[in-house]
Amino acid sequence: MACITTTTTTNRHQRRSSLQVIAGDPIIADDDTSAKEVIAPLTVKSPVANTMTQSVVHGVCVSILYLIHMLYMAYIAQKVLRTNAKQQWQNLLLAYQPLADDKQSLARGHSDRFYSLLKDDQRRLTKLPGHLAITLSTELLLDRTNEDWTTIIQDLGQVACWAWEMGIKELSVFDASGTLKSRAVEIAKQQSMALHQWKQHYHSDLIPENDFQCSILSLEDAQSYLVHATQKAYQHHLKNEEIDIEWVDGVMQASMTDPDLMIVYDGLPHHYISLDGYSPWHIRLTEFILNYDLFISSLFKYARVEQRFGR
């Protein structure tokens, strides 16, 4: 009777041990308490921990992007301030130079010393652009006030004097917004007065002949060139196979001479150039910003450039 009881107890112990193994509970052997073996349960990462980790990573990435953005804005701001400060300093130096005749000299630094500097630069130039194009950047269009536009018109009058003195035959100003073209009469008067004062002051004895031409262009003009080419193809009843790149280039270039040099004016400092809709058929070389230092440096760069069409 005692033997049967012992066997039943052992079977119950074995069944209990099997259930413990299935459930993943630790098994403790009864016969050897000194060497107890514990099987550790599997650990599963909590979804809450995963969400927190992703949130931290996302926050770090966003912070890095904001930091890069702030650094870029600070870089642009210091470039703008540096450029403006340099230009103001140059204007201040030129303004305090002794003028030969205050009434006949032009505003903002045209003096005999400035004229001698310009003539010295002219002698050192190996070649000049026949057509100088100036593109007014649209980056600051919404921030420009009436005073800014007046300053721009005065600057264009200065450039007309510099270009005429250098021997440049044609000057064109491109403003995509059309604001300058709407004030074409005012610009013509300003440039005419500036050139007259320049000639009277620096060429009072003999005024050299220079067939100088100045024009104001807008985005409508750039679009009208393509419309003109389309109308010409229709009038001549040209077939599709007769209209090729060479034919379009010929028509487009006949409407306006190709600029040899372009200066992008009144824009933010960049390592790239935005032409703001200028006709791609009339582009060869591009420079940027507008004061005398960069005006003359652009001419010197142009003198050293070997022009390659289509590149």
Mean residue pLDDT of the chain comes to 69
In Å, how far from its chain's centre is CA 34? 80
Give the residue extent of every domain in the chain. Answer: 129-304
**pLDDT for position 68:** 92
- pLDDT tens digit string along 167-190? 888 888 888 888 888 888 888 888
Handedness of CA 20, 22, 26, 30 (dihedral sign): positive
CB 262 within 8 A of CB 134: yes
**pLDDT for position 64:** 92
CB 162 within 8 A of CB 295: yes
The CATH number given to 129-304 is 3.40.1180.10
Rounded-to-integer distance, Cα 75 and Cα 93, Å? 27
**pLDDT for position 199:** 82
9-12: long-range contacts at Cβ-Cβ below 8 A with a sequence spacing of 24 or more?
none
State pTM to two decimals: 0.52
- pLDDT tens digit string along 110-162? 577 778 888 888 888 888 888 888 888 777 777 778 888 888 888 888 888 88
Spans of the chain below 50 pLDDT: 1-25, 27-29, 33-36, 38, 40, 94, 96-109, 282, 284-289, 309-311
**pLDDT for position 291:** 59
The conformational region for residue 310 under phi > 0 = left, psi -120 to 50 = alpha, else beta, is left
Pairing state between β 170-175 and 131-136: parallel
